[in-house]
């Protein structure tokens, strides 16, 4: 996250954002479930300019074995950005401080959702590859991984949807684009459990007043209702299409 406290770029003009959106409008979001043959579950998310693919494996044997727990499955997550994901200089592909942080915070979301006690001595792997990055990849990754886990049939207490809400040009904005994230005054990614409304991830960059923070959470909750509908629709479509194919065979 690279928000600066003073924005030199005009990001909101007459209530309209650079891409024409109003403050609470989401970028276009499309989710496809079950896109990988060789994974137990998968999802592809296109969200604004983000293109993210997620593959889930497991529950399967825990390796190395000494990490296995006789009480629960281990949830593992590896978030990675491809070298061609954005204009920023990458220097090398592979793990970085940022990808290590994102892998950790995404893993923690799913450790709180997966019913891990059902699968002792196993691990569940969540692999996330960002093919194109356009701001909000951690929230888009969580949204994708939730669909991939559901597609893998892994039991969870709840679904999760995530979005970044922030502040640019003094206005609170939902679903920050890359420029709003990089040059705005604040960036607050939030993940909500869909039914319980538990907050499973919240991070903050920049400054917000207490009142603004409350409004950010309200806006995130409203947005997450819309995101959840797209997630549910992607799963429904996947199984309807699978059913149609079976019928034709």
The answer to whether residue 90 forms part of the interface with ligand ADP (CB under 6 A) is yes
Cis-peptide into 59, omega within 30 deg? yes
Of 33, 81, 208, 219, the residue at the interface with ligand ADP (CB under 6 A) is: 81
The answer to whether residue 88 forms part of the interface with ligand ADP (CB under 6 A) is yes
We find the least distance from the C-beta atom of residue 2 to ligand ADP, in angstroms, to be 7
The radius of gyration of the chain's CA atoms, rounded to the nearest angstrom, is 18
Of the two residues 6 and 37, which places its CB atom closer to ligand ADP in the complex?
Answer: 6
Integer Cα distance of 142 and 57 in angstroms = 16
How many chain residues touch ligand ADP (CB under 6 A)? 19
Integer Cα distance of 193 and 206 in angstroms = 25
- Going by their DSSP bridges, the two strands 160-168 and 186-193 should be labelled as antiparallel
The answer to whether residue 161 forms part of the interface with ligand ADP (CB under 6 A) is no
The answer to whether residue 1 forms part of the interface with ligand ADP (CB under 6 A) is yes
Q: Which residues pair with 199 in a beta bridge?
A: 192
The answer to whether residue 178 forms part of the interface with ligand ADP (CB under 6 A) is yes
Residue 243, number of CB atoms within 10 A of its CB: 10
Tokens of 246: 């079976």
Window 109-138: residues binding ligand ADP (CB under 6 A): 133-138
Interface ranges with ligand ADP (CB under 6 A): 1, 81, 85-86, 88, 90, 98, 133-138, 164, 178, 181-182, 187, 189
């Amino acid at each position: 996250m690279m928000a600066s406290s003073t924005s030199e770029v005009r990001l909101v003009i007459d209530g309209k954002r650079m891409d024409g959106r109003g403050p609470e409008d989401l970028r276009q979001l499309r989710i496809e479930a079950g896109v990988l043959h060789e994974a137990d579950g998968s999802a592809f998310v296109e969200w604004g300019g983000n293109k993210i693919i997620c593959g889930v494996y497991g529950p399967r044997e825990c390796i190395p074995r000494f990490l296995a727990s006789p009480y629960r499955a281990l949830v593992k997550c590896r978030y990675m950005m491809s070298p061609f994901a954005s204009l920023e200089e990458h220097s090398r592909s592979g793990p970085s401080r940022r990808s290590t942080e994102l892998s950790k915070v995404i893993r923690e979301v799913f450790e709180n959702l997966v019913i891990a006690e059902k699968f002792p001595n196993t691990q569940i792997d969540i692999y996330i590859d960002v093919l194109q990055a356009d701001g909000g990849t951690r929230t888009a990754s969580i949204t994708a991984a939730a669909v991939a886990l559901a597609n893998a049939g892994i039991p969870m207490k709840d679904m999760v949807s995530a979005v970044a809400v922030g502040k640019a040009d003094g206005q609170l904005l939902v679903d920050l684009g890359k420029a709003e994230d990089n040059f705005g005054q604040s960036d607050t990614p939030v993940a909500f459990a869909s039914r319980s409304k538990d907050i499973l991830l919240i991070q903050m960059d920049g400054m917000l007043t207490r009142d603004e923070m409350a409004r950010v959470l309200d806006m995130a909750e409203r947005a997450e209702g819309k995101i959840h509908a797209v997630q549910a629709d992607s799963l429904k479509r996947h199984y309807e299409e699978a059913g149609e194919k079976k019928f034709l065979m």
